[in-house]
Amino acid sequence: MRSTIVDIKNRTGLSLATISKYLNGGNVLPENKIKIDEAVKALNYQVNENARSLVTNQTRVMGVIVFSVENLFVGTLLRYIGEYLRKHGYGMMICDSNKNPEAEKQNIRSMVQKNVDGIIIMPVSDDPSCLKIARDAGIPVICLDRVFREDDCDSVLVSNRQTTERLVDILIRNHHRKIAVISSHTEYTGQERLSAFIAAIDKAGIRIPDEYIISAEGLSISSGYEGMQQLLSLPEPPTAVFLCNYEILIGAVMAVSSSGFSYPDDVSLIAFDSMIFSEIIRPRITGAVQPTEQLAYRAAELLILRAEEKKNGADSPPQHIVLDTDIQEHESVKDIA
């Protein structure tokens, strides 16, 4: 039969108030701490988390809502978020919105009903109204990798615009002027990188035809494949293509191969986030490497801070953390001078 707090009382001779205070994180006399710890171990006592949450108004569980668990970048972030939370005494509940704004709303509602201590979200939609239910419940929310437009939520992002400018500059330094892009107009990161690409091209005084701007319905392998096929079939194909994420890169490389072309001889490739792909194919891809571990850790760290502030009745302005990427130049960009 499962042991109870009364069993600990009978074994230690301490009051229920003292035992309850200690089990719920309070301070007690050192000798009482030793007695309680010994009794917990001897009785194999398991804390009733539901009862604890009623007392402390904390579940010690954080919610993480992602746009797609199939995404390799998302999976890597989840690994590091979970690792950080475990080290700091928190569990993790994961919900997948599957790129569906309605599912995202339901996931937020579910997290609130589960009374999580905080939420990290990688948003699908641009509409911040879905956060109202969490805010009304006093649950802190951190946006990771993406943000809601026109909302001042805490966020942890990478330098999308600056990184894009640096990548475009590599192509220009290698004398490319016929530069195309494959991105997305439906997702925050795609929108930011596409906008930054156009701005960088304009700043360099380069004019490119509309056909060189491929703006797809999503940052996916199929978008990369179809977009690259479209570019390679043009009467005057580009000499270089900027690929706005990992999945688009994979699709683009597949399209180059299946079309009978090669890179960088026929077309140079540069990518925002080549991840492990750059290490397993040759020629290796020039691109930006995102600080995935630090993104996850900073988001989890900030969320725990917000949860502690809530518990103590404190409040502070939103933080917007932007991390730099590491640009790695390999063999996929050819100097065409």
Alpha-carbon gap, residue 180 to 198, rounded angstroms: 10
Q: What is the CATH number of domain 61-157+292-324?
A: 3.40.50.2300
Alpha-carbon gap, residue 54 to 104, rounded angstroms: 27
8 Å CB contact between 12 and 19: yes
8 Å CB contact between 302 and 273: no
How is residue 133 written in tokens? 């239910």
Instruction: Compute the CA torsion angle 159, 161, 167, 172 (nearest 10 deg).
Output: -150
Superfamily of the domain at 160-290: Response regulator (3.40.50.2300)
8 Å CB contact between 227 and 233: no
Give how far Cα 272 sits from Cα of 115, 182, 275, 309, 334, Å.
Answer: 37, 11, 9, 36, 17
Alpha-carbon gap, residue 280 to 196, rounded angstroms: 29
Backbone angle region of 75, left / alpha / beta, with phi > 0 → left and psi within -120 to 50 → alpha? alpha
CA 318 from centroid of its chain's CA atoms: 18
Q: Do domains 5-56 and 160-290 have the same CATH topology?
A: no
8 Å CB contact between 146 and 189: yes
DSSP 39-80: HHHHHT----HHHHHHHHS--SEEEEEES-TT-HHHHHHHHH
CA-closest candidate to residue 74, choices 216, 245, 192? 245
User: What residue type is 272 in one-letter code?
Assistant: F
Task: State pTM to two decimals.
Answer: 0.81
Place of tokens 């006592």: 45
Order across the sheet with 141-144: list the strands: 91-96, 61-66, 118-121, 141-144, 154-158, 320-323
Domain ranges of the chain: 5-56, 61-157+292-324, 160-290
pLDDT at residue 54, as a whole number? 45
Pair type for strands 326-328 and 286-289: antiparallel
Q: What SS3 class is residue 220?
A: coil
pLDDT at residue 218, as a whole number? 80
Alpha-carbon gap, residue 246 to 189, rounded angstroms: 12
Give how far Cα 269 sits from Cα of 196, 204, 263, 335, Å.
Answer: 17, 19, 7, 12
Residues 6+ apart with CB under 8 A from 320: 154, 155, 157
How is residue 202 written in tokens? 């304009």
Alpha-carbon gap, residue 45 to 139, rounded angstroms: 30
Q: What SS3 class is residue 267?
A: coil
CATH class of segment(s) 5-56: mainly alpha
Model confidence pLDDT, tens digit, residues 5-31? 888 888 899 888 888 778 766 788 888
- Per-residue pLDDT of the chain in tens (337 residues, 90 and over written 9): 667 788 888 889 988 888 877 876 678 888 888 988 898 888 887 766 555 554 455 678 999 999 999 888 999 999 999 999 999 989 999 999 999 999 999 999 999 999 999 999 999 988 899 999 999 999 999 999 999 987 889 999 999 999 999 999 999 999 999 999 999 988 899 999 999 999 999 999 999 999 999 998 888 899 999 999 999 999 999 999 999 999 999 999 999 999 999 999 999 999 998 777 667 888 999 999 999 999 999 999 999 999 999 888 888 899 999 999 999 999 999 999 8
Query: How many Cα atoms sit within 13 Å of 167 on the Cβ side?
Result: 39
Alpha-carbon gap, residue 175 to 336, rounded angstroms: 6
CA-closest candidate to residue 286, choices 222, 242, 329, 337? 329
pLDDT at residue 49, as a whole number? 53
Place of tokens 């590491």: 326
